Amino acid sequence: MNGQVSELLAEDARGWVIRLQDSAFADWDAFADWLERDPAHLQAYNQALDADEAMAGLFQLAPAPVVVPEAEPVAPRAPRRLFLISGGAVAAALAVVVGWSSLGSGPGGHEYATRAGERREVALADGSRMVLNGATRVAVLDKRSAELIEGEALFEVRHDAANPFIVKTGGVTLQDAGTVFNVVRDETGLRVSVAEGAVIYQPQAEAVRLSPGDSLSVAGSGRPEVSRTIVTDIGAWRGGQLVYRNATLERVAADLSRNLGVKVRVGKGTEAIPFTGTISTQGGPGAVVERIAALTGTRATRAGNGWMLDAIDGAPH
Amino acid sequence: MTATSSISGLQRVLEDERPRLLRFLAARGAGDDAEDVLQDLWHKISGTEARPVSDPISYLFRAAENVLRDRQRANLSRGRRQHEWQDLAASDHAPQGERVLIARERLREAETTLLALGPRVDQVFRRYRLEGLGQAAIARELGISLSSVEKDLQKAYRALAQLKDRFDAE
């Protein structure tokens, strides 16, 4: 199998695969620029290309060749949006990022916040990046540490064994021993999932080492539990998907609140209903909540600005 | 090479753009093959002068990309880009019938995955990737913005890549 490519980079690479397939694509120098910026880009691109050809190959036995433009004139493309910041562009982009989303906190630190339903990507001074899900606050303490105050963030960290990156959250310390991991802190507790490299939970205490695919959760009791998850599901929220394996409905509701921008609560007796499956967060909060209600055998009702999921047999809330 | 009457217009453009094309091929991982790729390309376009090309430079880049991919595919056996699961023929473990069943099952899963993203995403993906329509044409046809087409494509490709990772892990 090919080496793992970080999800952020994989997304960039897929963007190029998609664009190059358009017969109107003409930005070849920009593509070469991107490839040259970091040797990892070529690997990511080839991997994205392999995935594309393999999957398209399922639809039609032979992979489609790249379309060659024919004689007919081609309409000029509209200007493209800026793509994910990567590699050498990080330093340049940082000034902008700090300018627009900093709330200003203590000396030496900046705080970044998102409203529910919002997303933000932040480039850090050392070349690391974090992507904030909705209803999330993160304080950058210094070059190599950040605090997740609440919510969910995906960290893509430049690894430096001599000077590890630290994420603090709710009195817990996570030390990176690799590169990409997702952290959630909300009313249901703490969850840490590692997509790439490794993370050490509480290096000075329990020192639980988490490898790719490991997901550690700490609920109210405070005892950490490690389970397995599929690496590509980690951070799927960035693409509008929430992926679960035996999650409690309470946790699903907390995730939905963060992603949809409306409060989703669960009624008594439904908290522990297990859910396995993938939820798309597209299509409006009402539709999403109705879908999850149908999938879990609960009833969705409006509650103030938000939604309530109740047991169908239970008394109305 | 000098431009003579036997050289097509495209070949002349190729000579003019040689440094840019070589830089692209190097970035694209052609390594020592970059010159060979251009040589292949030179022969390929020798017969195409009768057909006008709307954007010769872009045409050459794309053709270079295609030649490079063909060469890389030919080198598959050297290991790097292997589709073990797609080409199960490489292994003797699964009989032909079973391979077909697996492929069919995977196609069904891929179709389900696309549909789960919504009928529009499914339609945009098919028009673009399988039928070869341009993004602008799809936007016009469906009466949606170009950025909606882009977003739909990103969703579809991401979901399919994740599905492939799952197949790979099986």
- Those residues whose C-beta lies under 8 Å from the C-beta of residue A179, and which sit 6 or more positions away, are A6, A156, A157, A158, A159, A196, A197
Say how many C-beta atoms besides its own lie within 10 A of residue B13's C-beta. Answer: 17
A54 vs B86: CB contact, 8 Å cut-off? yes
Distance from CA of B11 to the nearest CA of A (A): 17
Q: Is A240 on the interface with B (CB under 8 A)?
A: yes
* pLDDT, tens only, A155-206: 888 877 788 888 888 888 888 876 788 888 888 888 888 887 788 888 787 7
Which of chain B's residues have a Cβ under 8 Å away from the Cβ of A30? none
What ipTM, to 2 d.p.? 0.85
Final residue of a structural domain among B60, B77, B92? B92
Same domain membership, residue B88 and residue B100: no
- A9/A180 Cα distance (integer angstroms): 11
Whichever domain contains B152, its CATH number is 1.10.10.10
Spatial contact of A190 and A169, defined as CB atoms under 8 Å apart:
yes
Distance from CA of B3 to the nearest CA of A (A): 24
Determine the 3-state secondary structure of A176 from DSSP: strand
Residue type, A56: A
Distance from CA of B5 to the nearest CA of A (A): 23
Structure token digits, residue A118: 């919002």
A21 vs B129: CB contact, 8 Å cut-off? yes
Same domain membership, residue B160 and residue B131: yes
Same domain membership, residue B38 and residue B88: yes
**Dihedral (C-alpha) B113, B114, B118, B121: value to the nearest 10 degrees?**
150
Structure confidence at residue A88 (pLDDT): 28
In a domain, B117, yes or no: yes
In a domain, B2, yes or no: no
Stated pTM of the model: 0.46
Residue type, B118: G
Indicate the residue of A48, A64, A282 with minimum beta-carbon distance to B118.
A282
The two beta strands, A137-142 and A172-176, are unpaired
Same domain membership, residue B87 and residue B19: yes
Same domain membership, residue B84 and residue B13: yes
Whichever domain contains B39, its CATH number is 1.10.1740
* Phi, psi (deg, nearest 5) at residue A280: -85, 135
Same domain membership, residue B153 and residue B106: yes
- B84/A54 Cα distance (integer angstroms): 10
Structure confidence at residue B51 (pLDDT): 56
Q: Is A39 on the interface with B (CB under 8 A)?
A: no
Same domain membership, residue B163 and residue B136: yes
Final residue of a structural domain among B58, B92, B126? B92
Q: Is A46 on the interface with B (CB under 8 A)?
A: yes
In a domain, B70, yes or no: yes
In a domain, B37, yes or no: yes
Long-range contacts of A95-104 (CB under 8 A, 24+ apart): A97/A122, A97/A123
Give the count of alpha carbons within 13 A of A224, CB side only: 20
The pLDDT tens digits along chain B (170 residues) read 443 445 577 888 888 899 999 999 999 999 888 999 999 888 888 765 555 667 788 889 998 998 998 888 777 644 544 444 444 434 444 555 566 677 778 888 898 899 899 889 999 999 899 888 899 999 998 999 999 999 999 999 999 999 999 988 87
* pLDDT, tens only, B48-89: 555 566 778 888 999 899 899 888 877 764 454 444 444 443
- Those residues whose C-beta lies under 8 Å from the C-beta of residue A33, and which sit 6 or more positions away, are none
Which of chain B's residues have a Cβ under 8 Å away from the Cβ of A241? 159
- Those residues whose C-beta lies under 8 Å from the C-beta of residue A251, and which sit 6 or more positions away, are A188, A244
Which of chain B's residues have a Cβ under 8 Å away from the Cβ of A233? 162
Which of chain B's residues have a Cβ under 8 Å away from the Cβ of A38? none
Structure confidence at residue B155 (pLDDT): 96
Which of chain A's residues have a Cβ under 8 Å away from the Cβ of B83? 50, 53-54, 57
Is pLDDT of A99 > 50? no
Which of chain B's residues have a Cβ under 8 Å away from the Cβ of A231? 165
Determine the 3-state secondary structure of A220 from DSSP: coil
Chain A residue closest in CA terms to B105: A58
Give the number of A-B residue pairs with CB atoms closer than 8 Å. 150
* pLDDT, tens only, A273-314: 888 777 888 778 888 888 888 877 888 888 888 889 888 764
Same domain membership, residue B109 and residue B49: no
- Helices H / strands E in chain B, number of each: 8, 0
- A92/A32 Cα distance (integer angstroms): 19
Same domain membership, residue B55 and residue B126: no
Which of chain B's residues have a Cβ under 8 Å away from the Cβ of A35? 27-28
- B90/B72 Cα distance (integer angstroms): 18
Comparing B70 with A245, the larger pLDDT belongs to: B70
In a domain, B62, yes or no: yes
Q: Answer positive or negative: Cα dihedral of A184, A185, A188, A193.
A: positive
Same domain membership, residue B155 and residue B106: yes
Structure confidence at residue B55 (pLDDT): 79
B161 vs A32: CB contact, 8 Å cut-off? no
In a domain, B4, yes or no: no
Indicate the residue of A54, A74, A78 with minimum beta-carbon distance to B164.
A54
Indicate the residue of A58, A67, A231 with minimum beta-carbon distance to B106.
A58
Total structural domains in chain B? 2
Instruction: Tell me what percent of chain B is helix, strand and coil, each rounded to the nearest 5.
Output: 75, 0, 25
Indicate the residue of A18, A51, A55 with minimum beta-carbon distance to B154.
A18
Structure confidence at residue A24 (pLDDT): 87
Q: Is A84 on the interface with B (CB under 8 A)?
A: no
Structural domain boundaries enclosing B75 = 9-92
In percent, how much of chain A has pLDDT > 70? 80
In a domain, B151, yes or no: yes
- B121/A164 Cα distance (integer angstroms): 41
Chain A residue closest in CA terms to B56: A69
Final residue of a structural domain among B75, B92, B109? B92
Chain B residue closest in CA terms to A34: B27
Q: Is A163 on the interface with B (CB under 8 A)?
A: no
Same domain membership, residue B16 and residue B85: yes
Same domain membership, residue B86 and residue B19: yes
* Number of residues assigned to chain A: 317
A239 vs B158: CB contact, 8 Å cut-off? yes
Is pLDDT of A71 > 50? no
In a domain, B1, yes or no: no
Q: Is A213 on the interface with B (CB under 8 A)?
A: no
